[in-house]
Amino acid sequence: MTANEKRLLLALAWMCEQYIGSGEQTALDHECMGAGEDAVELLVEYGLVSPSGRGGTWTDTGRALLAEG
């Protein structure tokens, strides 16, 4: 992952945690909102989230990225 990718993913991860997250850095629920679905899908592609139901759960890598920000 490039420095720019990391910067963008960190911003996306925190936006997801703030707007569709549980507040405990565990689960995301996009509530079938298109933008949320796309965001979760991208985070899954980078290994930051494991897909489940209407969203996903943060992986160890995802929680580590959030801890950096």
Per residue in 14-27, pLDDT (tens digit) is 999 999 998 888 99
The pLDDT mean for the chain works out to: 95
Partners of 47 in beta bridges: none
For the chain, give the number of residues. 69
pLDDT in tens, 44-58: 999 999 999 899 999
How much is the pLDDT for 25? 85
pTM higher than the cut 0.85:
yes
59 Cβ neighbours under 8 A, 6+ residues apart = 47, 48, 49, 50
- DSSP bridge partners of 51: 56
pLDDT tens profile 32-46:
999 999 999 999 999
- The single-letter code of the amino acid at 23 is G
